[in-house]
Amino acid sequence: MLTRIGKIFFCLVALLPGSALNFVASVSSTEVRIGDPFLLTVSVEGEDIGQVPAPQLPDLPAFDIGGTSTSQSTSIQVAGGKTVRRQFINFIYTLYPRAPGETAIGPCRLEWRGETYQTEPIAIKVIQGGQPAPVPQDPGIAVAEDLRLVATVNRRTVYVGEPVFVEYTLYTRLRLADINLASAPSFSGFWVEPIYDAQRIEFQRKPVDGKVYDYCVLKKSALFPVTSGRLQVASMKLNVAVVRSPRDFFDVFSRPSIVPLQSDRHYVEVIPLPVEGKPDVFTGGVGEFSISGALDRTVSEGAEPIDLLIRITGSGNIKLVEKPLIPSIPGVRVLDPETRTSVDFPGTTFRGYKEFRYPLIPQTDGEHVVPAIAIAYFDPVDKKYHTVTTERLKFTAIQTSTAGETAQAGGLRVIGTDVRYIKPDVRRLKEQGLSAGQWLWMPYIASLFMIGLALTYRRHQTRLINDRAYARKIRSSRLLRNRMREAENELKKRNEKGFYGALSRVLLGYIGDRYNLDVGSLTTGDLIGELEKRGVSADNTKRLSELLMECDLRFLPEIRTENPRLLLQKAKELISGL
Amino acid sequence: MMILLILSITQFELDATESYNRGNEYFLQGRYSEAIAAYEQALQMVRSAGIHYNLGNAYFKKGMLGKSVLHYRVAHFLAPRDQDITHNLEFVRNYRVDKVQLAASPLISILDALFHYFSLYETQILTTFFFVAASVLLSLHLIFRIRVFGYAAITAAVLCIFFFINWQVWLGEKTGRHAVVTGPEVSVLSGPADDYKVIILLHDGAEAWIRETRNGYALIQLSGGIGGWVTEAALEEIF
């Protein structure tokens, strides 16, 4: 989108569906004075538009066309993680209004790749010319005499591309408290190269017209006209805080007065470059230039690119010099160049160089010749075009084809290489994951769990073999169940003697397995003592002792006190308590 | 719900296939910009080495080496044994202005080829398979105490380690913030601001590794260890 400080008119955006071309027209101002030039800029934006033709302008009966120029740029934008590279080509026309009133610039047209684009009309208001509004001033300050902002240009008439130097200087004989920039000057129709911008105000002193002034250079720029006609060097505006001399005692504490300052506007007549005698190889240079060419090496192996370095050196509008045309070189592909510019301002003019680095890709083996490369420039001193050329350069390419290494079996000779062709159409594309999903961790957890189980089983087996107490303990539960079942069976059969015998085996067998004791060789008293040593509570040993005694009384039924079923329940409670 | 999900995935794949085949038609007619748009549309729906490969070809025909290298590298990541992808990636690398390349020794080259034979997805699956196999065989060995199971478990574990290293190599490339220069020329500065000194000029297609980012600038490292700061807009990360 075009933007300009101040008055800008923005009109049609012709964006066709499926096309990446924007075609836009804008003007530097929609309200202009008679005689003052303004710029009509027709912009084309899109991809691969290097060969786009100039747009067709509408009839412009209300304007004179003062000159034309073009400018190009490339932008790289990143949006949504994608990089988009677009070219911008501006066709700039300087227009002069003829008569006051309301008028319009009709639609501009462009035909490109079978499509027709056009812009919207732009309304223009032309007013009578006049002087800039006078600067208001504090009645107590003689601004016109004591405080001035002066713009100076070194030349009034130049050729397109020839620099004009403009300088803004503040002169004062007053005490200043503060200086603020209200409006920076704009330079429509110029390519601007800043030379100096004051970072802080440091006054020096010199006499002017018999009076001594403090002065400070605020800004200095080199302006390279890119279009012909009468171009304006706009004014700079400042707000200056002036400390007034106190008129009485109370005035000592008054605030400084703010005084707006504005420099004069200047006009520069820009002469178009002569059409007659303009060489085809003119690349926009205005000044004095030389050209040199070199290769970074003389042998290319395996189709490796060789860099052709073209350097244009001299003084003038070096930054605006366009790339030279490289003639076709048989058997060599020439890629677009990379550009590097270095400019210096030693005091009176711009000097420097512009380098174009062209990668040359040899397609065939053998010696290749880069012919002399010519550029032309316009010298404003003698008002003539001059052509300068490089020397012819040579290099040798070997093994440009990797497949055949020239002659192969069958006598075929490979003369070039390229990328392999695209993959063919498919019936159905399948998603290819960059990596597996989160489910991948599940088999790992399951595997580790399985190894844990196997290790536990292995340990259990080893203890069963090596640890008798462990083995008896493991077995005790199973044996207990069998013995308990035996006791219950005896009870069901109402065989009291058998039941008490089975119950005794339940208790003694379980305690023997549980505490790894040889109960057969122990008396009841010894057994109780061993259990107490192993930390069994006195209550449990007492209950065990009573139960064993009841069992021992199976041969004396007349003195038994307990119900057999109750005894079995007590035995179960005791075992679960152990 | 499951059926709806499957149907929507199928529709995505069919739409992507239609865009991909349309891109091939454009490519055949030499309409590379349209081909790129069609392939990019297909990529929005389905990730496939074939689409990235064809996209790399289309960008190369447009002279956009950086984008071409970027898509060939993604294609190589997805299908590392595809000879067409490997060939074109090397071919386009030779077209670049910058010739920053590591002088790899034969041993390094062999190891590189070995550890890039299987894709990341394949190495993840194979690592998991051999881990499970080693676990099952080890468990059987622990339970039944049969030596053959022990030897088989060791073999599976070695293979698991090999594929795990493969996995980590690919993962390092995926998460290592590798990037490609996609502008015509980029100044590499000594600090993260435009008033620092230019120390290197990089060109379209140069590959780098992003170490950190700050204030819209990225600290990059090139093969061989040299590097500096460039604007993030001039780079495009591969993953």
Pair (A109, A225) in one structural domain: no
Name which of A85, A336, A423, A440 to mutate to probe chain B: the one with the most chain B Cβ atoms within 10 A of its Cβ.
A423
Average pLDDT, integer, range A329-338? 79
**Cross-chain CB nearest to A419 (options B60, B62, B171):** B60
Whether residue A435 lies inside any domain: the answer is: no
CB contact under 8 A, A85 and B64: yes
Predicted confidence band of residue A8 (pLDDT cuts 50, 70, 90): very low
Q: Both B124 and B147 in a single domain?
A: yes
The CA distances from residue A88 to A85, A192, A225, A241, A391, in Å, are 10, 19, 19, 43, 34
Burial class (CB in 10 A: 0-12, 13-18, 19+), A546: middle
| Secondary structure letter of residue A407 according to DSSP | B
CA distance B230 to chain A (A): 14
Alpha carbon of B187: minimum distance to chain A alpha carbons (Å): 10
In this predicted structure, the answer to whether residue A14 has a pLDDT above a threshold of 60 is no
CB A517, CB A544: distance < 8 Å: no
Distances from the Cα of A499 to the Cαs of A262, A488, A494, A519, A574, in angstroms? 126, 7, 8, 19, 17
**E runs forming strands in A411-511:** none
Query: Are residues B132 and B186 part of one domain?
Result: no
- Residues within 8 A of A (CB atoms), B 11-50 only: 13-14, 16-17, 20-21, 24, 27, 33, 42, 46-50
Residue A78 has pLDDT above 60, yes or no: no
pLDDT band with cut points at 50, 70 and 90 for residue A258? confident
What is the pLDDT confidence band of residue B155, given thresholds at 50, 70 and 90? Answer: very high
Would the pLDDT of A404 be above 80? no
Pick the last residue of a domain from A271, A294, A318: A271
Measured between alpha carbons, how far is residue A316 from residues A14, A73, A269, A292 in Å?
A: 38, 21, 18, 17
**Per-residue pLDDT, A5:** 31
The answer to whether residue A450 sits within a structural domain is no
B131: number of CA atoms within 13 Å, CB side?
19
pLDDT on residue B84: 94
Per-residue confidence band for A131, with pLDDT thresholds at 50, 70 and 90: very low
- Considering the domain architecture, whether residues B31 and B7 belong to the same structural domain is answered as yes
Q: Testing the interface with A: which of B74, B82, B143 to mutate, by most A Cβ within 10 A? A: B143
Q: In which order are the strands placed within the sheet that holds A101-105?
A: A31-33, A122-127, A101-105
Question: What pLDDT score does A148 carry?
Answer: 85
Most B CBs within 10 Å: which of A76, A414, A419, as the mutation test of the B interface? Answer: A419
* Rounded distance between C-alpha atoms, residue B157 and residue B137, angstroms: 10
pLDDT band at A191 (very low <50, low <70, confident <90, very high): confident
Same domain, B15 and B89: yes
Angstroms from A223 CA to nearest CA on chain B: 23
Per the domain annotation, does A363 fall within a domain? yes
- Is the residue at B100 inside a domain? no
Given the DSSP bridges, would you call strands A257-262 and A211-225 parallel, antiparallel or unpaired? unpaired
pLDDT tens readout for residues A350-387: 889 999 988 888 877 788 889 899 999 999 999 999 99
CB A147, CB A174: distance < 8 Å: yes
- Residue A275 CB contacts under 8 Å (≥ 6 apart), including other chains: none
Q: What residue in A sits closest to B185 (Cα-Cα)?
A: A338
Per CB-CB distance under 8 Å, the chain B contacts of A451 are: 135, 138-139, 142
pLDDT over threshold 50, residue A3: no
State the Cα angle at A574 between A524 and A464, rounded to 5°.
85
The burial class, CB within 10 Å (0-12 / 13-18 / 19+), for A91 is buried
CATH number of domain containing B21: 1.25.40.10
Check pLDDT > 90 for residue B39: yes
**Residue B153 in tokens:** 């478990």
Domain count across chain B: 3
pLDDT tens-digit series, residues A492-504: 888 877 888 888 8
Cα separation, B6 vs B9, in Å, equals: 5
**B67 in a domain, yes or no?**
yes
Mean pLDDT, range A54-83, rounded to an integer: 68
A464 contacts chain B (CB < 8 A):
no
CB distance A338–B51 less than 8 Å? no
Measure Cα distances from A167 to A194, A196, A223, A260, A264 in Å.
Answer: 11, 9, 11, 19, 12
Read off the tokens for B220.
């990059």
Q: Are residues A502 and A568 in the same domain?
A: yes
Q: Cβ contacts of residue B129 below 8 Å, gap of 6+?
A: none
Angle between helices A564-577 and A496-515 (to 10 degrees): 10
Pick from A339, A361, A436: CB nearest B124: A436
Instruction: Calculate mean pLDDT across residues A115-130.
Output: 82
Cβ–Cβ of A433/B121 closer than 8 Å? yes
> Is residue A406 situated within a structural domain?
no
Last residue of one domain, picked from the residues A365, A398, A431:
A398
In-domain check, residue A280? no
Report percent pLDDT > 70 for chain B.
94
A177: Cβ–Cβ under 8 A, 6 or more apart, which residues? A241, A242, A243, A256
The mean pLDDT of chain A is: 79
Looking at the predicted structure, is the pLDDT value of residue B98 above 70?
yes
Are B188 and B142 in the same domain?
no
- Whether A195 shows a pLDDT value over 80: the answer reads yes
| Pick from A20-24, B75-79, B200-204: least confident | A20-24
Both A117 and A152 in a single domain? no
Shared domain for A330 and A227, answered yes or no, is no
**Which residues have a Cβ under 8 Å from the Cβ of A182 and sit 6 or more positions away?**
A237, A238, A239, A260
C-alpha dihedral sign at A361, A363, A369, A370:
negative
What CA–CA distance (Å, rounded) separates B89 from A575?
79
The answer to whether the Cβ–Cβ distance between B48 and A435 falls below 8 Å is no
A411 in a structural domain: no
For residue A226, pLDDT beyond 90: no
Using the Cβ of B77 and the Cβ atoms of chain A, whether some distance falls under 8 Å is answered with: yes
Count of beta carbons in the 10 Å neighbourhood of residue A452: 11
- The DSSP code for A365 is S
Q: What pLDDT, on a 0 to 100 scale, did the predictor assign at position B209?
A: 92
Distance from the Cα of B108 to chain A's closest Cα (Å) equals 22
- What is the band of A285 on the pLDDT scale with cuts at 50, 70, 90? very high
Report pLDDT for B80.
94
What is the average pLDDT across A94-104?
A: 81
B155 and B211 share one domain: no
CB A37 within 8 A of CB A132: no
Over residues A221-243, mean pLDDT: 86
A524-571 tens-digit pLDDT: 888 888 888 888 888 888 888 888 888 877 666 666 566 778 888 888
Place of tokens 């934006």: A45
Q: Are residues A241 and A298 in the same domain?
A: no
CB neighbours (10 Å) of residue B113? 11
Q: Is B60 on the interface with A (CB under 8 A)?
A: yes
Q: How close A319 comes to chain B (CA, Å)?
A: 17
Where residue A257 sits, what CATH number does that domain have?
2.60.40.10
Q: Are residues B90 and B13 in the same domain?
A: yes
Q: Which amino acid is at B95?
A: Y
In a domain? residue A94: yes
The more confident residue out of A445 and A65 is A445
- Is the same domain home to A216 and A147? yes
* Ordered DSSP codes for A526-574: HHHHHHHHTT--HHHHHHHHHHHHHHHGGG-GGG--S-HHHHHHHHHHH
Residue B77 lies in a domain: yes
Give the span between the Cα atoms of B180 and B205, in whole angstroms. 6
Q: Is there a domain that residue B12 lies in?
A: yes
Please tell me whether residue A22 adopts helix, strand or coil conformation.
strand
Yes or no, beta carbons of A76 and B233 under 8 Å apart: yes
Burial readout B155-174 (b: 16 or more C-beta within 10 A, e: otherwise): ebbebbebbbebbebbeebe
Q: What is the pLDDT of residues A412-430, one digit of tens each?
A: 555 556 788 888 888 888 8
- In chain A the first and final C-alpha atoms are separated, in Å, by 90
Does B62 lie at the interface with A, CB-CB under 8 angstroms?
yes
Q: Does B128 touch chain A (CB under 8 A)?
A: yes
Closest CA to A93 of A231, A196, A253: A231
Residues B32 and B14 in one domain: yes
Q: Note the pLDDT of residue A311.
A: 94
| Statement to judge: residues A308 and A202 lie in one domain | no
Cβ of residue B212 closer than 8 Å to a chain A Cβ = no
Whether A233 and A318 map to the same domain: the answer is no
- Per residue in A46-63, pLDDT (tens digit) is 877 766 778 888 888 788
Host domain of residue B188:
178-237
d(CA A394, CA A366) in angstroms, rounded, equals 10
- What is the count of structural domains for chain A? 4
Q: Once rounded to an integer, what is the mean pLDDT over residues B42-51?
A: 93
* Spatial contact of A318 and A350, defined as CB atoms under 8 Å apart: yes
Residues of A in contact with B97 (CB under 8 A): 305, 307, 338, 357, 359
Q: Which of B57, B96, B132 sits opposite A443 (nearest CB)?
A: B132
| Buried/exposed code over A148-167 (b: 16+ C-beta within 10 A; e: otherwise) | bbebeeeeeebbbbbbbbbb
Is B53 part of any domain? yes
Q: CA A356 to CA A292: how far, in whole Å?
A: 11
d(CA A110, CA A119): 9
Same domain, A24 and A110: yes
Q: Give the integer Cα–Cα distance in Å for A44 and A172.
A: 47
- A112 band by pLDDT with thresholds 50, 70 and 90: confident
Using CA atoms, how far apart are residues A4 and A399, in angstroms rounded to an integer?
Answer: 55
A442 touches chain B (CB under 8 A): no
Q: Tell me, yes or no, whether B167 and B184 share the same domain.
A: no
Looking at residue A302, its pLDDT comes to 74
Is the separation of the CB atoms in B181 and B138 below 8 Å? no
Whether residue B101 lies inside any domain: the answer is no
pLDDT of residue A24: 87
Q: Which of B95, B122, B155 is the last residue of a domain?
A: B95
Reported confidence tier of residue A68, pLDDT bands at 50, 70, 90:
low
Residue that finishes a domain, picked among A377, A398, A419 = A398
Which pLDDT does position A499 carry in this prediction? Answer: 85
Q: Which domain holds residue A123?
A: 9-127
Whether residue B103 lies inside any domain: the answer is no
Check whether residue B213 and residue B226 sit in a common domain.
yes
Say if residue A35 is in the same domain as residue A101.
Answer: yes
- How many contacts (CB atoms, under 8 Å) link A and B? 154
Placement of tokens 């002469």 in the chain: A271
The answer for residues whose C-beta is within 8 angstroms of residue A366's C-beta and 6 or more apart is A331, A396, A397
Looking up residue B229, the CATH number of its domain turns out to be: 2.30.30.40
| DSSP-derived 3-state class of residue B3 | helix
> Quick one: B226 and B191 in the same domain?
yes
Q: Which of B159, B175, B191 is the last residue of a domain?
A: B175
| A432/B49 CB distance under 8 A | yes
B135 vs A432: CB contact, 8 Å cut-off? no
**Residue whose structure tokens are 């989108």:** A1
Is the distance from CB of A231 to CB of A164 less than 8 angstroms? no
Asked if A219 and A328 sit in the same domain, the reply is no
Read off the CATH number of the domain in which A363 is found: 2.60.40
- Per-residue confidence (pLDDT) for residue B71, from 0 to 100: 96
B121 and B155, same domain (yes or no): yes
Is A562 part of any domain? Answer: yes
So what's the pLDDT on residue B211?
Answer: 92
Task: Report which DSSP code applies to A54.
Answer: P
Give pLDDT, residue A67: 61
Q: Kindly report the three-state secondary structure assignment for every residue of A84-134.
A: EEEEEEEEEEEEEECCCEEEEECCCEEEECCEEEECCCEEEEEECCCCCCC
Of A58-67, A99-108, B132-141, minimum mean pLDDT range: A58-67
Let me know if residue B102 belongs to a domain.
no
DSSP secondary structure string for all residues of A214-273: EEEEEEEEEEEESS-EEEEEPPPEEEEEEEPPPSSSGGGGPPPEEEEEEPPPEEEEEEPP
User: Computed over its alpha carbons, how large is the radius of gyration of chain A?
Assistant: 51
Name every chain B residue with its beta carbon within 8 A of the beta carbon of A436: 121, 124-125, 128
